[in-house]
Copies of this chain bind each other. A is one copy, B any other.
Amino acid sequence: MTDPLVVFTPSGKRGRFPVGTPVLTAARQLGVDIDSVCGGRALCGRCQVEVGEGSFAKHGLASTAAHLDAITATEMRFDEKKGLPAGRRLACQALLRGDVVIDVPQESQVHKQVVRKRAEARAIALDPVLRLHYVEVAEPDMHEARGDFERLKEALEAQWGLSELTIDLPTLRAVQPKLRQGGWRLTAVVHDQKRIIATRPGFHDKAYGIATDIGSTTIAAHLCDLLTGEVLASAGMMNPQIRFGEDLMSRVSYVMMNPGGEKELTETVRGTLNALMAQLAAEALIDANDIFELVFVGNPVMHHLLLGIDPTELGGAPFALATDSAIELYGTEVGMTAVNDSARVYVLPCIAGHVGADTAGVLLSEGPHLQDETMLVVDVGTNAEIVLGNRHRLLACSSPTGPAFEGAQLTSGQRAAPGAIERVRIDRETLEPRFKIIGTDYWSNEDGFAAATRRIGVTGICGSGIIEAVGEMFLAGLIDADGVIDGGLAPRTPRLVQEGRTWTWVLQAGEPEIRITQTDIRAIQLAKAALHAGCRLLMDHLGIDKVDRIRLAGAFGSHIDPLYALLLGLVPDCALAHVSAAGNAAGTGARIALLNVQARREIEALVRRIEKIETAIEPRFQEHFVAAMAIPHKTAATPELAKAITLPVPKRSSTTGDARSRRRAPRA
Residues of A whose CB lies within 8 Å of any CB of B are 139-150, 167, 169, 172-173, 175-177, 307-310, 312-313, 317-325, 327, 329, 333-334, 350-353, 355, 612, 614, 616-617
Contact = CB atoms under 8 A, between A and B. Distances in A.
A278 B622 CA distance: 60
B307 A147 contact: no
Contacts of A324: 145-147, 150
A178 to B, nearest CB: 11
A484 to B, nearest CB: 36
- The 8 A-B pairs at the shortest CB distance, nearest first, are namely A145-B352, A140-B320, A147-B324, A147-B323, A149-B323, A145-B612, A147-B321, A140-B318
Contacts of A167: 323
A322 B140 contact: no
Contacts of A334: 169
Contacts of A317: 142
A144 B610 CA distance: 11
A15 to B, nearest CB: 38
B142 A616 contact: yes
A322 B355 CA distance: 47
A333 B175 CA distance: 17
Nearest to A144: B612
Nearest to A324: B147
Given A148-B322, A149-B322, A149-B325, A617 B173 contact: no
A325 B142 contact: no
Contacts of A325: 147, 149-150
B145 A353 contact: yes
A177 B310 CA distance: 9
Contacts of A351: 145
A333 B341 CA distance: 13
Given A307-B173, A310-B177, A322-B173, A614 B148 contact: no
Contacts of A329: 169
Given A169-B307, A310-B173, A310-B177, A323 B142 contact: no
Contacts of A350: 147
20 contacts: A140-B319, A140-B320, A142-B317, A142-B614, A145-B324, A145-B351, A145-B614, A147-B323, A148-B313, A148-B323, A150-B325, A169-B327, A169-B329, A169-B333, A172-B322, A173-B307, A175-B322, A176-B309, A176-B310, A176-B322
A332 to B, nearest CB: 11
A175 B307 CA distance: 13
A351 B150 CA distance: 12
A323 B150 contact: yes
Contacts of A147: 320-325, 350
Contacts of A319: 140, 142, 145
Contact of A172 (B139, B307, B313): B307
Looking at A147, A167, A324, which has the most chain B CB atoms within 10 Å of its CB?
Answer: A147
Highest count of chain B CB atoms <10 Å: which of A139, A173, A323, A329: A323
A321 B172 CA distance: 11
Contact of A320 (B148, B169, B333, B352): B148
Given A175-B323, A176-B313, A177-B310, 18 more contacts: A140-B318, A142-B317, A142-B318, A144-B612, A145-B324, A145-B351, A146-B324, A147-B320, A147-B324, A148-B313, A148-B320, A148-B322, A148-B323, A150-B324, A169-B329, A173-B307, A173-B308, A173-B309
Contacts of A307: 169, 172-173
Contacts of A143: 614, 617
A102 B251 CA distance: 59
Given A145-B352, A325-B147, A350-B147, A320 B614 contact: no
A236 B552 CA distance: 68
Nearest to A352: B145
B150 A308 contact: no
A147 B325 CA distance: 8
A634 B173 CA distance: 48
Contacts of A614: 142-143, 145
A308 B324 CA distance: 37
A319 B329 CA distance: 35
Nearest to A312: B176
A144 to B, nearest CB: 8
A334 B149 CA distance: 19
A322 B177 CA distance: 10
A321 B145 contact: yes
A161 to B, nearest CB: 20
Nearest to A173: B309
Contacts of A146: 321, 324
B318 A141 contact: yes
A256 to B, nearest CB: 13
Contacts of A322: 147-149, 172-173, 175-176
Contact of A308 (B140, B169, B177): B169
Contacts of A148: 313, 320-323
Contacts of A145: 319, 321, 324, 351-353, 355, 612, 614
A324 B150 CA distance: 7
A454 to B, nearest CB: 51
Contacts of A321: 145-148
A310 B352 CA distance: 48
Contacts of A176: 309-310, 312-313, 320, 322
A172 B323 CA distance: 8
Contacts of A172: 307, 309, 322-323
For A177, A309, A317, A351, the residue with the greatest tally of chain B CB atoms inside 10 Å of its CB is A309
